[in-house]
Amino acid sequence: MKRRVFSLLLTLGLLCSLLPAVSAEDEEAVSSFTALCVAKPGQSVFLDEKEFQLLCRQATGHDLESVAFSSLSAGVGKLTCRGEGVTAADAYYMYRSPAISDVCFTPYAYSSASRFVGQAEMAFTMTSDKEETVSGTLILYVPETPTQAEEPSLMDKALTVKAGKPVDLFDHLPSTVRYKKGTTIYIGEAITSATFQLPSSSQGSLWLDYDHPEIARKLLPDEVLFPDKAPNYYNLTFVPTSREETEVRLVHTISSEKKDFNVCLTLNFKEDKEPVRPGPDIPPAGIVSRVIHFQDMAGWEWAVPAAEFLGKSGYFSNETAFDPGGEAKRMDLIHALALTTYSNFRRNMFPTPAFSDLPDDPELVQSVAALADRGLVLGNGEGLFLPDEHITRQDALVILYRAMADRSKLLPLYGDLSAFSDAGDVAPYAQEAVTLLAARGIVLGDGTGNLDPLSPITRAEMACLLYRAFG
């Protein structure tokens, strides 16, 4: 009911957002955009590269290439990237090093007298992959210790939600005030406004209009929300930072005409499946890391870094032979993907998928399970996984595309295959994956202007795809 009441307001907001269109001839930044990073005193938190990507797309319609930051004011804290200080002369990239996702903010916390608490701002400039530039402001926020209600509110609520998934708060926020005075419970006072204590960025972020990327943004510090107008109290979504988060307390103050109330909405994140207990033949937890030097790479020197990348992930038992020209099988690709993108699957044992032809190898089974759990492998629709079936180049690209999307490796919104003479051979189901992976430079063709989408993919080609995507 609440959502229907405010649907008209949302529609009007979307229409208004389209009005200030910028002509192609306008070379100046369209407007100032705001990003947010929230930390506790002394806590190190990483910047959210997906937020900058979204801001760039809102401003230009194109993918983000890089971000450059101004200097951080003295007395606030440190902005670093892999231990090195961030300077105004450096650019940080969406898809290569130095990466935006490696930029870290640590507020000063020397003592109660000198620690930084409050809000600081620094300018940034985004550059799209079409070389458009957009200016913005990064808010670095360190809140005071959150205040708690002296006694639980009648509006407090606890939810059990899926680990790692965004939580739409619409159905879980009160529509009227409920409180107790003496032995009498009062119900029905209208809510006039609400203000949230922002969670740390290490836990996650509160977003407004999260389902509408053209206007979505993070909730700002001390921002007042309203039940009947923008910014709307009921259009909030909590987006966790990782699947490892177990509990988040969203403390906020609800105001009515008579009184203010501290309310706590507790989100308990749980895996929606019971993990399988590892047996004695399951490899121990941890990622295998070793130096690999294959001896059969003569004539395949271009694939050596990619082969070494897979070898260090623990992919090979034979440390001398790679067989670069051999045709990759479905099991080869799935196991390599699991090790390079979901290497913690050894610690999070997934339920065995219902395929009747899985190999008799616990680690390979868990590789299939890890990707099947995320919907990346579906089988043939008849209960078969077909592990020994050779995989075509286009089918490998479809699976890789799903994995990149699942790992938040954002892809361009545009692209075409006009540079390849055999683009018409790409099957309709693979068009989007092949097009966008080609636009990102993940697939380069065979060097003669062809994609060869129907040809079996070689082990060297498979390794190079994974190396470009995740190396």
pLDDT in tens, 46-77: 999 889 989 998 999 888 999 999 988 888 99
Q: How far is CA 388 from CA 324, 328, 330, 384, 385, in A?
A: 17, 9, 6, 11, 9
Beta strands in 101-132 (DSSP E): 103-107, 118-128
pLDDT computed for residue 18 by the predictor: 40
Q: Among residues 297, 263, 56, which one has the least CA distance to residue 154?
A: 263
Q: How far is CA 236 from CA 190, 210, 301, in A?
A: 19, 7, 52
CA distance between the termini of the chain: 48
Q: What are residue 183's phi and psi, to 5 degrees?
A: -105, 5
CA 68 to CA 71: how far, in whole Å?
A: 10
pLDDT computed for residue 413 by the predictor: 54
pLDDT in tens, 162-198: 888 889 998 888 888 887 776 666 677 889 999 999 9
pLDDT computed for residue 51 by the predictor: 93
CA 442 to CA 458: how far, in whole Å?
A: 15
pLDDT computed for residue 349 by the predictor: 60
pLDDT computed for residue 249 by the predictor: 92
State the residue for tokens 């790479």: 297
pLDDT computed for residue 294 by the predictor: 77
Domains of the chain from N-terminus onward:
29-142 (2.60.40), 157-270 (2.60.40), 301-470 (no CATH)
Residue ranges for the chain with pLDDT beneath 70: 1-32, 111-113, 146-152, 182-186, 272-293, 314-319, 342-350, 405-415, 471
Amino acid identity of residue 21, one-letter, is A
State the residue for tokens 């032995």: 183
Burial class of residue 52 in the structure, from the number of CB atoms within 10 Å of its CB (0-12 exposed, 13-18 middle, 19+ buried): buried
pLDDT computed for residue 261 by the predictor: 86
State the residue for tokens 């701002």: 121
CA 62 to CA 84: how far, in whole Å?
A: 29
Which pair of tokens denotes residue 71?
A: 């200097």
- What length is written for the chain? 471
Q: Which helix (H) or strand (E) holds 161?
A: strand 157-162
CA 228 to CA 178: how far, in whole Å?
A: 19
pLDDT computed for residue 112 by the predictor: 59
CA 121 to CA 136: how far, in whole Å?
A: 10
